[in-house]
Amino acid sequence: TEIAGWMWGVLYKDDILNKLGIGRFLHELTNDLESLLSHPEKRFLAYSGHDSTLVPLLCVLGIYDDVWPPYASHLTLEFATKNNLCVKSESNNNNTEDNGTKTGKLYVRAVYNHESRVMLINNNLDVWCPYELFQSRLMEMSITPEKYK
């Protein structure tokens, strides 16, 4: 499984191949997130997949470590405004006084198998990634069903 984990990492860390592999799901996910965020009464989305679905998604988010996902692996994406974060940020890379607490700016945290992971996308270095960076990466990697054909 060490070789398989590394091999899939090589394959899906290539954005062009990954876009073909997971892009249609990312298109669906971005649409569902837009709907969820525009309807405050909705609070939960759930998807089910396999390890072969999880690896490309982890690669898109920059958190795949070339280790094949163990049995029953899971990824949770948590959304919060900076002033409502459920935990204090594990790193502080922004030295501004406000740091988003007054603006209610939206952030996303990836929790992979019960461990918070820094999404290494668009120069993000914090476990709480600004939603704009997260959304930009998903949009960059998504593909419509029509374009896929």
The pLDDT tens digits of the residues spanning 18-47 come to 999 999 999 999 999 999 888 878 888 899
Indicate yes or no: pTM above 0.85. Answer: no
State pLDDT tens for residues 105-131.
899 999 999 999 999 998 899 999 999
CB-based burial label for 45 (10 Å; 0-12, 13-18, 19+): exposed
Q: CB under 8 Å to 32, separation ≥6 — which residues?
A: 45
State pLDDT tens for residues 42-90.
888 899 999 899 999 999 999 999 999 999 999 999 998 877 665 444 4
pLDDT at 104 > cutoff 60: yes
